[in-house]
């Protein structure tokens, strides 16, 4: 049986560019990737990767999507009249379900055995894991990124599901073997770049009054942890310049390359998990 | 051209009248333009995803190739829209 390393791609909104850079480092080092666990933006990147898309193509797609993220039509497609229970949890009129349903169909994305997506039960704060092939991918992606206060929760039987980060920002407990954990840090200060009022509000919230607690602790002994810091960028800073997005990608690549090279040299990533000698 | 518009064009090309197996058309396109898309993606992924990969990898080359096919009358003028 082929030996592989698992990947955990954590939550962090627009900071997902770090994940894409890390994936480039993984590809260059020839690390064979087994299962991928994703939360929120990490689930999106993991879905593309598990479907067979390389890091450079994911980057291209993200940059194109970034250009159109302020499109009013896109926003309009997310506007929903919620039921009272959903509204009380989400405090919003925006749902990710319809946009994701259309995107999954249009892009031909499918669930597969390599992919795990983590969401969170709004009531119990326990994890809800989507894995295998028998689930609706758009529902999993919507739920995993449904940050209360921004997006409505997703109905899942009797449960209402919210952003998986409300359970854990980098959930490593589902990994069956050593994993590379790509962890996106929080904003810790306000940005010096000009921001639109909505981005400023979200930045202020992330720094001073986070909507939900997001645990981040991971098993450093067992796994290889790549922590990405961008303390002046909040997860919902959607008006970032392309230059900042590319800077995150480059930093994710360089830092990932350094940490992973060391892990290989130290034997923490088994040589059998490499496709290059 | 935006990637998603090109993806639509590629799918319309692969699903044109007279084509029995759209997936084969996509594979032929990848081979003709030597796009280097892995065989497991070509055989296992949804046609929409394959077309997306072709659009991302090939970009303008694919666009020009489809334009040539329109001029040659292989595919209809509608494909340009």
**Are the C-beta atoms of A47 and A117 separated by less than 8 Å?**
yes
Residues in chain B closer than 8 A to A57 (CB atoms): 53, 56-57
pLDDT value for A69: 67
A205 pLDDT tier (thresholds 50, 70, 90): confident
Which chain A positions have a beta carbon within 8 Å of B44's beta carbon?
Answer: 52
Give the pLDDT score at A145: 95
* The pLDDT of residue A72 is above 70: no
CB contact (8 A) between residue A52 and residue B38: yes
Of residues A43 and A238, the one with the higher pLDDT is: A43
List, in order, residues 6 or more apart from A227 with CB less than 8 Å away. A183, A185
What is the band of A277 on the pLDDT scale with cuts at 50, 70, 90? low
A-B CB pairs within 8 A amount to 42
* pLDDT confidence of residue A43: 97
Check: CB of residue A45 under 8 Å from CB of residue A19: yes
Spatial CB neighbours of A198, under 8 Å, sequence gap ≥ 6? none
Q: What are the residues of chain A with a beta carbon less than 8 Å away from any beta carbon of chain B?
A: 51-53, 57, 60-61, 64, 105-110
**Lowest model confidence (mean pLDDT) among A34-43, A198-207, B38-47, B61-70:** A198-207
Q: Are A182 and A200 within 8 A, CB to CB?
A: no
- Closest approach of chain B CAs to the CA of A52, in angstroms? 6
Cα B60 from chain centre: 12
pLDDT in tens, A44-70: 999 999 999 999 999 999 999 887 765
- Residues of chain B contacting residue A51, judged by C-beta atoms under 8 Å apart: 45, 49
Residues of B in contact with A133 (CB under 8 A): none
pLDDT surpassing 90 at residue A161: yes
Sign of CA dihedral B48, B49, B50, B53: positive
Task: From chain B, pick out residues whose CB is under 8 angstroms from the CB of A52.
Answer: 38, 40-41, 44-45, 49, 53
pTM of the entire structure? 0.93
State the Cα–Cα distance between residues A206 and A190, nearest whole angstrom: 9
- What pLDDT, on the 0 to 100 scale, is given for residue A53? 95
Q: What pLDDT does A70 receive?
A: 59
pLDDT confidence band for A1 (50 / 70 / 90): low
> Considering chain B, what percentage of its residues have pLDDT values greater than 70?
99
pLDDT at position A180: 98
- How close A51 comes to chain B (CA, Å)? 7
Q: What is the CA radius of gyration of chain A?
A: 18
Residue of A nearest to B47 (CA): A108
């Amino acid at each position: 049986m082929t030996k592989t390393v698992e990947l955990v791609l954590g939550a962090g909104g627009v900071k997902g560019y770090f994940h894409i850079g890390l994936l480039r480092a993984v590809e260059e080092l020839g690390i064979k990737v087994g299962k991928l666990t994703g939360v929120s933006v990490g689930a999106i990147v993991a879905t593309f990767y598990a479907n067979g898309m390389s890091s450079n193509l994911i980057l291209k797609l993200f940059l194109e999507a970034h250009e159109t993220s302020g499109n009013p039509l896109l926003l309009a497609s997310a506007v929903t009249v919620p039921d009272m229970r959903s509204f009380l949890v989400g405090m919003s009129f925006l749902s990710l379900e319809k946009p994701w349903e259309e995107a999954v169909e249009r892009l031909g994305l499918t669930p597969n055995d390599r992919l795990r997506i983590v969401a969170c039960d709004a009531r119990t704060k326990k994890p809800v894991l989507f894995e295998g092939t028998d689930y609706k991918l758009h529902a999993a992606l919507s739920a995993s990124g449904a940050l209360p206060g921004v997006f409505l929760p997703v109905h899942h039987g009797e449960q209402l599901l919210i952003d998986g980060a409300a359970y854990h920002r980098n959930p490593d407990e589902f990994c069956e073997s050593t994993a590379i954990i790509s962890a996106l840090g929080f904003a810790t200060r306000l940005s010096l770049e000009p921001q639109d009022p909505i981005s400023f509000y979200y930045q202020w919230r992330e720094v001073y009054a986070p909507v939900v607690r997001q645990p981040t602790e991971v098993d450093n002994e067992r796994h290889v942890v790549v922590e990405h810091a961008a303390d002046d960028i909040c997860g919902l800073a959607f008006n970032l310049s392309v230059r900042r997005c590319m800077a995150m990608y480059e930093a994710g690549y360089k830092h990932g390359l350094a940490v992973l090279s060391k892990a290989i040299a130290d034997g923490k990533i088994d040589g059998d998990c490499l496709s290059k000698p | 051209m935006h990637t998603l518009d090109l993806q639509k064009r590629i799918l319309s090309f692969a699903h044109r009248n007279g084509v029995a197996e759209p997936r084969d058309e996509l594979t032929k396109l990848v081979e003709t333009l030597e796009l280097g898309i892995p065989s497991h993606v070509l055989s296992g992924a949804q046609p929409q995803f394959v077309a997306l990969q072709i659009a991302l990898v090939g970009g303008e080359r694919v666009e020009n190739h489809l334009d040539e096919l329109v001029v040659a009358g292989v595919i209809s003028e509608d494909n340009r829209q």
